[in-house]
Chain A
Amino acid sequence: MATTEKPATQKPAPRRAAIVGGNRIPFARSNSRYAQASNQDMLTATLDGLVARFGLQGQQLGEVVAGAVLKHARDFNLTRESVLGSRLAATTPAYDVQQACGTGLEAALLLANKIALGQVESGIAGGVDTTSDAPLAVNDDLRRVLIQVNAARSVQDRLKALAGIRPGMLAPEIPRNAEPRTGLAMGEHAQVTAHEWEIGREEQDELTVRSHQNLAAAYDRGFFDDLVTPYLGLARDQNLRPDSSVEKLATLQPVFGRVLPPGAEATMTAGNSTPLSDGASAVLMGSDEWADAHGLPVLAHLVDGQTAAVDYVHGGEGLLMAPVYAMPVMLARNGLTLQDFDFYEIHEAFASTVLATLKAWEDPAFCKGRLGLDAPLGSIDRSKLNVNGSSLAAGHPFAATGGRIVAGLAKQLHEAGPGRRGLISICAAGGQGVVAILES
């Protein structure tokens, strides 16, 4: 039964967007199970899994907003193409967004805002990334020559232009997980931050083990039965190591630390850093009225969100510390303290990032000096943190992480009962961060 989106004909008072549910495919390690799957393949499969879960076949939604961090030039309309390939009505509009690892959460905020303003009644926010089927760009010098060849009007001019090709130009440009302005890998930046905040190796490994254990336990109790749809033979996240232990992690060699001051200990390993991974996620949202009219549950509402950015190039702040700045702004706006939450989802880009973020909120001098607060935000109950595992165990296909967290937290809050609050914090490349509040 096809239904169409019926936008409000009059401006309603702002309302909270409802999170109805989500879907993702299990996250795969880079160049493994999803090596042959494109971003469009994965996003389409994820949308179709969501359609199947909620019976949205042939339905027109208000919009689908999603994005990818690593994107081929041909994927300029990635989300719209995925919608056209999915079981949704072809009349569902779609657009792409990209805010590095913040993409998924930012997409959810954009959609929630449109729902809140009555511009759409329903929609899907999501994200996808592949580090396997990554775009290789033609060397920039070669690209210029080829453009000249293409623009040349005579055979002679064309040959002349082609003669400009040099062997060195044949090497392609490979996307790197590094900041363009510093040339440093994200892990190198994080290692510097970890050193500055005196985050030890053991506490990073402990956080990592908890992530694996929590994720494994969540799978075992069927928590992901209505959040994940298997894909290409993979039914659980490929990076998950249920038997992970601090002892095992302790044997790994540090992989970052080339810009640490002399004598400083490198603490970050392949174990306590997220691996490159492939995957996609999607979250179904709508107004309460829309959910009710379609017989769909409301797991939680998206209450508020905030983004921030830091000057990690010249400003002396860590690359991944922007969420630390976004948080007090959002808390103040909502009259809440950091302790007023039942669950915390802090994206585990690196174990050290989570620990540095928590430590910064606890630090009176930092909170006063950098955040301009009279008192620190304080500490949180660690047993409420990433209770169903996070990126260290699940993997982190950049743009897909936000959707994974929003849907999972919404379900967790719903299970806990009405009136429960959850907090999301996601750091992103380029010195950016996105935070959000959900409430059941």
Chain B
Amino acid sequence: MSDWYRDFANSGVGGTLTKQLGLPRPAVLRRYEPGEPLLPGPAVIGSAEEGRLREQLSSVLKDAGVSVLSPVAADGSGDGEKLAAVLLDATGLTGPADLAAVHDFLAPALKRLRPSARVLVLADPPSAAPSPAEAAARQALDGLVRSIGKELRNGATANLIYVPAGAEGSIASPVRFFLSGRSAYVDGQTVTLAGADVPAGEDDDKPLAGKVAVVTGAARGIGASIARVMARDGAHVVAVDIPMAGQSLADVANEIGGTAFQLDITAADAAPRLIEHLRERHAGVDIVVHNAGITRDKLLVNMDAERWNSVMAVNLQAQLDITQALLDADGVLKAGARIVCVTSQSGISGNRGQTNYSASKAGIIGMVRAWAPTFAQRGATINAVAPGFIVTEMTAKMPFGTREVGSRLNSMQQGGLPVDVAETIAWLSQPGSAGVNGQVVRVCGQSLIGA
């Protein structure tokens, strides 16, 4: 689905017109293509006081073939190269006074950004701060990064990674994600890492090679996109959807060289059947993406039990039941398993007419956070991804005005694409993302709703 307004705003006449009228000027976002470099230009790494991640950040960038300019050259004086990424190691912060150094580093650097540039700040989490002053400084970064996200234009994003002591070994995969085109529509987000055994030696082109991935609701829309991206990254995808959707499910499976498994996930025997299938055909499963979801919108006062119950059954109870059954089934959930649950912006902000939907989606967030320690014990992870305004067949049916306004209410001034959600899920599914657990990552272009 094309974004006619974005295309117009990026045309010659449209560009002039939107600029003079002060209209939104959505950029054509840099999205990941296999084989492309991590960044289209150089990066700069700064630190506020003495950070402990500098060396590591440098080596992540070096491994990815990114040239790193020294912060001195980024002070705005010379006519140095435009920057594709600005990274700040803020782990050395000790109090609000140190934030001046953050300002000193970022202000000149942000003047020299390329289109679709990345601003990435790494810091210690406020919760673990030894003093209120230190906690304040760390928390201040949250407000700072979110505001930068709103100030940036031209497809650039700003995100924050909290790295607790002991989680330093977990940063490579998240750093790569937030710098790459995979995170095109992920903006203003905060992710808190955990210490984990991160396997070494990843194949960047096929990070999911040899993995078996179940994707529910895979027959169309975001689910089909998830299936495609997982397969592109090397996974064998078991595409699951209700029997009614079997024809398009088969098309998706055939397109990506996966397999189709028709299953109503709300059936009483759904979990044992899925487990039996995974055991018999694939000797287990590495990745489960709980994507299937339905909407049955009505104001709460007008909502019948059927609407309420069916949404709860598909969106929440099935995720709980299947995940629990996988945990219980001996040897089916493979070591280092990844569960990714699709929640929604509505689950964070609420939405008029969607009490049932929002409740189910908020429930997923509670579930993910509660299960994270259990999964960590197994060397596995469970995370949630919350899409914002994503352009699908469903949004295409919205009234023109609602759709156009809805899709612009974010820092990227455009709707996201199903592939943006899929890329985030595929990233969380990577072996290297072992240190990302119990997190909720929004793919919303820093939506104004629920932020």
B237-283 interface (Cβ within 8 A of A) = 243-247, 249-251, 253-254, 257-264, 267, 269, 273, 280-283
A-contacting residues of B (Cβ < 8 Å)? Answer: 236, 243-247, 249-251, 253-254, 257-264, 267, 269, 273, 280-283
Q: Is A387 an interface residue (CB 8 A)?
A: no
Provide the bound-state CA to CA distance between A228 and B251, in Å.
Answer: 14
Q: Is A273 an interface residue (CB 8 A)?
A: no
Contact between A224 and B281 (Cβ–Cβ < 8 Å)?
Answer: no
Chain B residues with Cβ below 8 Å from A52 are 249-251, 253-254, 258-260
Provide the bound-state CA to CA distance between A226 and B250, in Å.
Answer: 12
Knowing A226-B262, A230-B243, A230-B246 are in contact, say whether A57-B269 is a contact too (CB < 8 A): no
Chain B residues with Cβ below 8 Å from A224 are 243
Chain A residues with Cβ below 8 Å from B262 are 225-226, 229
Provide the bound-state CA to CA distance between A1 and B243, in Å.
Answer: 26
Chain A residues with Cβ below 8 Å from B253 are 52, 55
Centre residue among A53, A58, A224 by max chain B CB count within 10 A: A53
Contact between B263 and A295 (Cβ–Cβ < 8 Å)?
Answer: no
Chain A residues with Cβ below 8 Å from B261 are 53, 226
A229-266 interface (Cβ within 8 A of B) = 229-232, 235
A-B CB proximity, top 3 nearest: A52-B250, A52-B253, A52-B260
B264 is contacted by which of A55, A58, A222, A228 (Cβ under 8 Å)? A222
- 28 pairs of residues in contact across A and B, judged by CB atoms under 8 Å: A48-B254, A49-B250, A49-B260, A52-B249, A52-B250, A53-B259, A55-B236, A55-B253, A55-B257, A55-B258, A55-B259, A58-B257, A222-B263, A222-B267, A222-B269, A222-B273, A224-B243, A225-B264, A226-B261, A228-B243, A229-B247, A229-B260, A230-B243, A230-B244, A232-B247, A295-B282, A296-B281, A297-B280
Please, which residue of chain A has its CB at the minimum distance from the CB of B236?
A55
Chain A residues with Cβ below 8 Å from B281 are 295-297
A1-45 interface (Cβ within 8 A of B) = 1, 45
Contact with B along A174-205 (1 / 0, CB 8 A): 00000000000000000000000000000000
Knowing A229-B262, A296-B281 are in contact, say whether A1-B257 is a contact too (CB < 8 A): yes
Q: Is A366 an interface residue (CB 8 A)?
A: no
Contact between A51 and B243 (Cβ–Cβ < 8 Å)?
Answer: no
Contact between B243 and A225 (Cβ–Cβ < 8 Å)?
Answer: yes
Centre residue among B247, B281, B282, B283 by max chain A CB count within 10 A: B247
Q: Is A87 an interface residue (CB 8 A)?
A: yes
Contact between A87 and B254 (Cβ–Cβ < 8 Å)?
Answer: yes
Provide the bound-state CA to CA distance between A57 and B239, in Å.
Answer: 14
User: Smallest distance from the beta carbon of B219 to chain A beta carbons, Å?
Assistant: 10
Q: Is A312 an interface residue (CB 8 A)?
A: no
A231 is contacted by which of B247, B258, B269 (Cβ under 8 Å)? B247
User: Smallest distance from the beta carbon of A137 to chain B beta carbons, Å?
Assistant: 32
Provide the bound-state CA to CA distance between A45 and B259, in Å.
Answer: 15
Chain A residues with Cβ below 8 Å from B257 are 1, 55, 57-58
Please, which residue of chain B has its CB at the minimum distance from the CB of A235?
B244
Chain B residues with Cβ below 8 Å from A53 are 250, 259-261
Provide the bound-state CA to CA distance between A51 and B251, in Å.
Answer: 10
B254 is contacted by which of A51, A222, A232, A295 (Cβ under 8 Å)? A51
Q: Is A341 an interface residue (CB 8 A)?
A: no
Chain B residues with Cβ below 8 Å from A297 are 280-281
Provide the bound-state CA to CA distance between A421 and B246, in Å.
Answer: 30
Chain B residues with Cβ below 8 Å from A1 are 257
Chain B residues with Cβ below 8 Å from A58 are 257
A380-399 interface (Cβ within 8 A of B) = none
